[in-house]
Amino acid sequence: MINMFIAYDISSKYIYRVVCMTGEGADFKTDAFVVKACANAAFVYITERLVQIQGGISTTREANADLFCHRAKTYGSLLGSP
């Protein structure tokens, strides 16, 4: 579970960096691509692990874990995967 937290933390730090660059008026085009790739990979990784964890305690359907996993993979297909 610590790997999921690390993936989330890295993604949120990249997002914060790009938002700060936007506010300063700096060129953030390449950093925006890094954010997209990092956030998409983290989203897919975390939701796949969520399905495994929730499946282990038999609450996958109640927690909509499969919905989040399908949504993550759909966003990766629509917006481009890393």
Of 7-11, 42-46, 50-54, the least confident = 50-54
d(CA 30, CA 62) in angstroms, rounded, equals 39
pLDDT tens column, 49-64: 888 887 777 765 677 7
d(CA 10, CA 2) in angstroms, rounded, equals 12
For the record, the structure tokens of 8 come out as 């989330």
* Res. 31 pLDDT band, cuts 50 70 90: confident
Evaluate if residue 81 carries a pLDDT over 70: no
SS3 28: coil
d(CA 39, CA 10) in angstroms, rounded, equals 8
d(CA 41, CA 18) in angstroms, rounded, equals 17
* Res. 35 pLDDT band, cuts 50 70 90: confident
